[in-house]
Structure 1
Amino acid sequence: MATNHDHYDPAYLSGILREAKTIAVVGASPNPARPSFGVMRFLLSKGYHVIPVNPGQAGKEILGQTVFATLGDIPDPIDMVDVFRASEYLHEVVDEAIALEPRPKTIWSQLSVRDDFAAKQAEAAGINVVMDRCPAIEIPRLGL
């Protein structure tokens, strides 16, 4: 069933954020001024297992977490992929997520990141999609 990506039911978002334990942050940056750094720090503070993904930082650490080059390099199952890449790259992240076994339950793209075709692909593969939202905004808003 396709989701209305113009409006998300709070129960849909809450369910995703409650169920997720391991979150891969694609486009994670070691720069404290970057939004991905702040969101990663916030998610870690909320008890999530956060795995940074950035090919240029692979093997290094961001906020004490080992950075992987690709989703496929992560040895642990991923519940949610949080995407800090431009909209035109979202389909590549979706393709990579679909290739994983097991697949992540959710692909979440950050503010201003939206690709409805990529969302349809992910949903057809059984993956929940949230676009143009930030978990660091939604978690407090939903009282989680």
Structure 2
Amino acid sequence: MSQQASTETSAPNGTAPLIYPDAEIRRILSETKTIALVGASAKEVRPSFFVLKYLLAKGFDVIPVNPGLAGKEILGRTVYPDLQSIPQPIDMVDIFRASNAVPGIVEEALSLDPLPKVIWMQLTVRHDEAAARAEAAGLTVIMDRCPKIEYARLCGEIGWNGVNSRVLSSKKPKLGKGYQSYGLNPRRAD
């Protein structure tokens, strides 16, 4: 089976391209249990809703964050107004907001105790200065990626939908045990 060592996206505004080794993405997704999804939407047509639903189905503990929906529920999960209000430790902060909102979210994440392990910025979201600040504090930062897409790509799901994931062979992966061959473990039985 051929595996590409990393994924790369084109860089906006003349900045350097973002390259993340598959091994790093795989490690993050396998070690992450709790995700605060900042910018969660209750609208079923919004990408943040779909990502929340997918990650919950994969067994992640996803906590929606949206001040306009605070106290309500999305997919049975209580929505919090901000990261500070979440009553449990967070492994990853997944940012579904515009790039100009990232510095404030990173600062809030850096005020948490314990600190999250990962700041993850969704597709098209990038803020190099905020990323450098988080990395200086010891956090791993991923920008311009979607954990749902990366999870599906690395465990072979996405390729069977006609998308070249760059990690597939001509053999269809076995669900369940097949996930382990991609370095990911499902958190619940499908």
CA distance in 2: counterparts of 1:93 and 1:122, whole angstroms: 11
Cα deviation 1:56-99 (Å, max 9, x = unaligned): 00000001000000000000100001100000001111000000
Q: Shift in Å at residue 5 of structure 1?
A: 6.4
Q: What is the identity, as a one-letter code, of the residue corresponding to 1:59?
A: G
Listed as ranges, the gaps of 5+ residues in structure 2 are 1-15, 156-183, 185-190
1:116 maps to which of 112, 120, 128: 128
Structure with larger RCO (C-alpha < 8 A, sep 6+): 1
1:6 Cα deviation from its structure 2 partner: 1.0
Identity among equivalent pairs (%)? 59
Structure 1: which 5+ residue stretches go unaligned?
A: none
Output the TM-score relative to the length of structure 1. Answer: 0.96
Is it true that 1:101 corresponds to 2:113 in the alignment? Answer: yes
Q: Distance in 2 between matches of 1:7 and 1:55?
A: 32
| Change over 3 Å in CA distance of 1:137–1:129 after alignment to 2 | same
Number of positions where the alignment pairs a residue of Structure 1 with one of Structure 2 = 141
Larger of the two Rg values belongs to structure:
2
Query: Which 4+ runs in 1 deviate beyond 2 A?
Result: none
Q: TM-score, normalised by structure 2?
A: 0.73
Matched, 1:129 2:141: yes
Match of 2:64 in 1: 52
The alpha carbon displacement at 1:48 in A equals 0.3
